[in-house]
Structure 1
């Protein structure tokens, strides 16, 4: 069976990677691209680049078994609503939504339409993250006492720094990746957040620095730096790391540590790092294609992702109030979903 997949919007930087992954899968076909009225020219350009047709939204949804939503954060709800009404499974770019209210609405829409909603959290398919999860499950670390993570990258610009389109800055863009793998590895949710944010590295209207100090539901402390702190001239876009300290041992992972440095004095001179490890996006896309074929939820469900959005919402509330904020129990979903 060949699973037919479409791309709903190509506004997100990850669209190129997902298109390449779909084109490389034997059991999937990238059927085409569609875009919002404001971005039709961009959509047509990307369709040509990917070697597929450009469709109007309703026409694409009528041709596919599933779609990957790569729009601005603010447009996630509209695209998911459209796909749900068409009875098409969805893999939505992270974060699921800029607000808990919108995230819940997306989950409810898909539930009522009996379609599966997944969220693009590729670090669950990173081999270092999977090794850490296996170590925790096998009791290698004993009881986990402390977690420290980073997701520091370059400032992406474009709509990412327009709060109306993104919902926020670096907290919105980067926090969810490491929060998700901590919840996935430990089986615990985030119960309390204290956040400090600032704009220090770029002349932009949203925060590019953030430090979150969190407490999990079992009392474990967890700190995260998810800043846009890498300069444009940096040799690699950023990092995704996690250190787990237990009573019996310590595990440190860097999801993008498998790279080599390349020095050039011609063309585009300078030093850059080339990643040679396994591509987590490939696992993410393959899981979605398999989920559509088997009529099952993807590994990361929309219902589970509501929790990540609740952490982000609490972080912004904390930063504004300069005090710790509880992540409301009513907004928590099971970390094992």
Structure 2
């Protein structure tokens, strides 16, 4: 389990480098939701996602004897770790699956990462990652199961507590994939807001967290296709105990609901979100959430807008889904 003191130390370690992201509101979205929604805009974070926090905390704790880090990623973690490593004078090697969008490959390289292509499956990613560890003496930084990464993501929770010092939130909705983000934030919030309802947002196409919560034990499910590629992974053994203890409920939504929420963010809030970034809003607007958390009892709800690294090639698909 992560401790609040570790999260506080992480914030002290990274706060001069990362952004203290703002809270966004929108009257049109509030009207549709029937309550006040407060968006923690991690899409405006360094490298375009919350991942920068955990990556920077992890590499900042490494000693001088470790000169390189590595990961396997075709998305936000690869970009964040490349940026973080460069920030502290270390080299980052990223195993990228063949066929990954070139815009994402270019972003990793622009942040200083060294790209090494691998086969586009779990075995291929693991083999290349192990090769990078062996060949370059690189320290593997997992995107969600590394405890220093989880601690870094928890700094979002500390910022929320400061930003809502006068009146805490009634509930907060947080996307869940591997579980690092929600585990860190939930740990921070429970220390100051023991009564806040913490809801995990998950695509119905990859619902392992919901299934695990229902069964009371960690369950691995198939990684089906979803527009929310940022959470197309299973909760891990390090994050599951924290989720089980700290999270009140997991609510799933389909890709059409996510696309409609994404279009709303883009058109009405005038801010860029990747599909996964709209996942929490999709839950906030869902029937399941509104039945479980009535508007009159939970009038102030936080929504984690987790990332803004939009691949423009997916826009036609998102618009088509949103019009369904």
TM-score, normalised via structure 2 length: 0.35
Structure with the bigger percentage of strand: 1
Higher helix share: 2
TM-score, length basis structure 1? 0.34
CA radius of gyration, larger in: 1
